[in-house]
Structure 1
Amino acid sequence: MKTNHKLFRTIGAMLLAVTVLAGFTACETDPVEQNGGKLPDKEAIESTYGQLRSNATTGNTVEMLLTAGTGFVTRDFYYQQTKPAADGTTLTLRIDESLVEGFNATNGVECQLLPTSNYEFPDGQTLELTAEGQRSAAKRVRILAEGLTAGEYLLPVTVAAEGSADESQTLYYTLTVRDPQPGDYELHDGSDLFFVFYINTDQYQPLLVQDYLLEKKQVRGSNVAWYGTVGNIINLRTITVKYNEFSGRAMLDLGSDMTYVLGHASKYIWPLQEQGRTVCLSLEGGGTGLGFCNLTDEQIADFVAQVKAVVETYNLDGINLWDRNAGYGKEGMPETNTTSYPKLVKAMREALGSEKLLTLTVYEEPTSTFWDTEATGGIEVGKYLDYAWSGYNKNTEAVQLLDPWHPNESYVSAYTQKPIAGLDASKFGCVNFPIFPVATSEAESMMRDPVFLVDWVSNGQKPNNIIVFDDLRTNLQDNYETAWDITFAGCCRFMDEENQYILGSRNGYTYRFDNHELTSLPTGLSGYGKWQKDW
């Protein structure tokens, strides 16, 4: 099966975009002066400069949010040089409380110094650079909410010499602690961002999504547009279609984990529905060579009947179809065709009725002809769908913007998809965000930055408020720990039409993820691994 490969943007182009964007934000308040004159001295150009940095920010201020109580948030820090130094370098991070007053005066805030008992450095405070290296290994700082009252806190850390102030050698970790409020756990209505999530029950309990707490806040000041849980459509996976070589049937394989979850729906599924979430099952290929694109009419009817029985038995809200991992081309299996999948969609809608949700994930060749009713046997696939969205979300690639209505824009993905026949643009999710681990290089950080979405949104090309994410995760001690939650919030910011890059820092909004619940264990202690499967 042919795969479309991503068109990589150059790092230089992305750096330019970020620079322009930063300038755009600054223009609201600060005039820009351009000075002509001689070039910098050759000695200055060839000098080696270093900066204390964090993967959580492009500047030197790292913002965090926690609700009062137990819970914590973890961020990182590292040292970056413009080029390798002649000799190796060892730097020691220290807390400099003398910087609090200056930070408050500069930013017009009233932060108090974060108490010593509310932070720790699990990996130590020493940064090492080898003679050949430009970047040290990242190390963690963990900020704890326990014992803190509502307010603004600051942890200023620096590698500058005692008695000297150097912003390039300093990071400011700011923590907002908020009091719990009535309605904190109400589901956000999706009016500005409509959240579509996947949860892999091979790893997690579906209840994981309850702890995804997000705040939409004006960049300047304390105005909060909303705070609450998110996740309007929840797709549970992994469920597959497999081929029974003895009977020739296409079999719905729930797997042991999904079987357990469905068998305990009153614990794992119904509470989500009671909160207003739509809970669906996501179906995909099972690697046997049989998938949605090579089913016979008899297999379609049989398979749809199996799916309908599960949906009705466990009172689920619908089905998501994602044709991937089928293993097409295996010896003895039928060839793929362009009518099988459309027939399956039509039959699934007719069996489930209009009360259940039917969605489709666009991915590679199985959906590539859905614009062409001749290829689909006269079936307008979109007429049978409630929603469709992109399935391109590899975390080894940049964020992919799959916009079938503006394919020639430079910021639209090289993966292609024409508009699905019969589906209105208001029902198509153009971006499916990966969950990224911590970046290990500047090039990797720039590759992941979805700043190009600002052009798409500000040009009025975003057709709806649908935002889709790859499999959700909890807080674990792994290479995602210091990065995934802040990149999650950042993706939300770029997709919102009221973001700071479009409306400016005076009127625009940003998003912050609250790790309070995800790091508060049922025992009453803080820790890792909450909502991993318990069976």
Structure 2
Amino acid sequence: MKTNYKIFRTIRMMLFAATVLAGFTACETDSVEREGGKLPDKDGIENVYGILRCSSSCENIVDMILTEGNGFLVNGVYFEQTKPVSENVSIQLQIDESVIEAYNTLTGEERALLPESNYEFMEGNTLEISANGKQSPLKRIKFLAEGLAAGEYVLPISIGEQEQGNILRDNIIYFNITIREPFVGDYPLDQAKFYPEEGEDNATEPILMVFYINTKDYDPRLVTDFYLTKKKRRPSQELWTRAVGNIINLRTVVLKYDEASGRALLDLGADMTYVLSHASTYIWPLQETERKVCLSLEGGGTGLGFCNLSDEQIADFVAQVKTVVETYNLDGINLWDRNSGYGKEGMPETNTTSYPKLIKAMREALGSDRLLTVTDHEEPTEYFWDTEATGGIEVGQYLDYAWSGYNNGNEVTQICDPWHPDDVEVSKYTHKPFAGLDPAKYGCINSPWYKGTDPSSLIDRKHIYRWRAAGNKQSQILVFQDLMTRLQNEYEATGQSYGEVCLYFADDGKTGTSILAYSNNYTDVTSNLMFLPDGTIGYGKWLKDW
């Protein structure tokens, strides 16, 4: 029995498809043979076909991206035959440098051979198939970025000569390695400590800014054009400019109900799937500037949400979330139960234990190294103070942070302060404190954007100063509605004016007995939003490009 080593994938298939198409065109007028009873070619039956495969792809071109520095990735290969071998077989892996020129010509690229010091066969380079087996165990290959300049590289891995050898060059896997330069922002991030040390005074900490970005409309890198400048008023002096946005919550990702299986499914949607699949472009630059990038999970309008899940659905859903977080190395999860569509016919009624159970299970799955946050909004969270209602679960014990979700642009900026509901000057929304949650981990303000035509009374934020001056502020967390770019619309005149919110919120912002007496000023610096990637001035920078 002889073995043919063939490949049925990317490059060879392109040539094969062209040949087949030409054949159909040439034979259009040929008669169709209808005779029956013919036996298949005997040689075809006796042939055994084998193929070198990659563990992470069904193609023989595998793209991987590393960042210039000391990072690494691990991939693997194995060999598989169509029939079992009669005796033990050893197959040697080799680096086939001779194919690179032809490969670059075919792909239109200019890739250099990956240096020997930048890859390692972790279990050796011999694939072995035991007698009566069809597949070798996986052999892992480690790809290292250390010492490599940014650029394009390739490592062609093939099998060595065998006694039954045939078309060996067809059995090649091309590992394309792109080494990218790390993103460096224009300014350092205004660093709020995520976990202040015991005994530290939170009042001395910078503002921990939380931003949301809707990938339905925007490239997540929009956040990289937001800065904050601090100025001294008398004498006039610019003290510093810093990048902002410590936590970036990407949306929209929803929980949906699958009627056929009864499962609660994590639905990433087309836009988030694209962003995650191109994490090196859209997510890594944010993380490289020390921002935490999280997914914000919401309801999907099916009538199933965080407040009416069964225990089985919770376990299943949490496992799905964990897989996505670990696969794309995200920094955590934000839960915001809105748009679930509760009350639909045939769906279970809401209860007060489902959401707390989900939070507890999510924390246990994510571990302590990743963030878990909850947006406090309307009925789904209003009972989190009552451990009897939550089945004994102290929700706050499982959270890194929580914050208000009230950011209606038709209202003045709301202050939802569970600890001082009677002292708050403007608050239509009052919730009791989450059981077990430290006040320093709760953000009372979620700032909306206001239109250029809105009256000054609507956008006046002096009440934030009066609330702070009364000693009510207990955390440095400040949350903002979905970021927007510079567009020719009703928000154009005011832009993303978060500087005034910071001025009234920051401990070293407006000071003194009079609201007009202050020594420091905070202003937003979003001028980069005016300049498009080609350097011209215009609208729509960072609108999604996929």
Task: Give the SS at the match of 1:522.
Answer: coil
The TM-score normalised by the length of structure 2 is 0.63
Identity %: 61
Q: Which amino acid aligns with 1:532?
A: L
Deviations 1:487-514 (A, max 9, x none): x211111111222354777752111222
Shift in Å, 1:305:
0.2
2:476 to 465, 468, 471: 465
Deviations 1:39-96 (A, max 9, x none): xxxxxxxxxxxxxxxxxxxxxxxxxxxxxxxxxxxxxxxxxxxxxxxxxxxxxxxxxx
Q: Which amino acid aligns with 2:295?
A: L
Task: Give the SS at the match of 2:295.
Answer: strand
Aligned to 1:483: 494
User: CA RMSD, aligned part only?
Assistant: 1.5
Q: Distance in 2 between matches of 1:193 and 1:226?
A: 14
Deviations 1:319-363 (A, max 9, x none): 000000000000000000000000000000000000010000000
Aligned to 2:37: none
1:262 to 265, 272, 276: 276
1:497 lines up with 2:507 in the alignment: yes
Q: Distance in 2 between matches of 1:225 and 1:455?
A: 25
Query: Is contact 2:510-2:520 (8 Å) kept?
Result: yes
Task: Show structure 2 runs of 5+ residues with no match.
Answer: 1-183, 193-204
Q: Distance in 1 between matches of 2:427 and 2:407?
A: 11
Aligned to 2:98: none
Relative contact order higher in (CA < 8 Å, ≥ 6 apart): 1
Aligned to 1:320: 334
Aligned to 2:530: 519
Alignment of 1:140-151 (within 5 A): none
Q: Which amino acid aligns with 2:224?
A: Q
Aligned to 1:140: none
Query: Is contact 1:220-1:506 (8 Å) kept?
Result: no
Q: Distance in 2 between matches of 1:376 and 1:354?
A: 22
Query: Is contact 2:484-2:496 (8 Å) kept?
Result: no
Query: Is contact 1:188-1:230 (8 Å) kept?
Result: yes
Alignment of 1:19-418 (within 5 A): 184-190=186-192, 191-418=205-432
Distance 1:502 1:484, change over 3 A: farther
Count of equivalent residues = 350
Query: Is contact 2:231-2:521 (8 Å) kept?
Result: yes
Deviations 1:119-144 (A, max 9, x none): xxxxxxxxxxxxxxxxxxxxxxxxxx
Aligned to 2:545: 534
Q: Distance in 2 between matches of 1:247 and 1:479?
A: 45
Shift in Å, 1:184:
4.0
Shift in Å, 1:460:
1.4
Aligned to 1:427: 441
Deviations 1:98-138 (A, max 9, x none): xxxxxxxxxxxxxxxxxxxxxxxxxxxxxxxxxxxxxxxxx
Shift in Å, 1:214:
1.6
Q: Which amino acid aligns with 2:190?
A: H
Q: Distance in 1 between matches of 2:376 and 2:406?
A: 8
Shift in Å, 1:471:
0.1
Deviations 1:391-424 (A, max 9, x none): 0001011111000010112514121210000100
Larger Rg: 2
Answer with 351-360 or 214-223: which moved more: 214-223
Task: Give the SS at the match of 2:375.
Answer: strand
Q: Which amino acid aligns with 1:226?
A: W
Query: Is contact 1:434-1:470 (8 Å) kept?
Result: yes
Q: Distance in 2 between matches of 1:394 and 1:334?
A: 30
Shift in Å, 1:435:
1.2
Shift in Å, 1:526:
1.2
Task: Give the SS at the match of 1:518.
Answer: helix
1:453 lines up with 2:464 in the alignment: yes
Q: Distance in 1 between matches of 2:249 and 2:424?
A: 31
Q: Distance in 1 between matches of 2:518 and 2:456?
A: 27
Q: Distance in 2 between matches of 1:363 and 1:229?
A: 28
Answer with 505-514 or 192-201: which moved more: 505-514
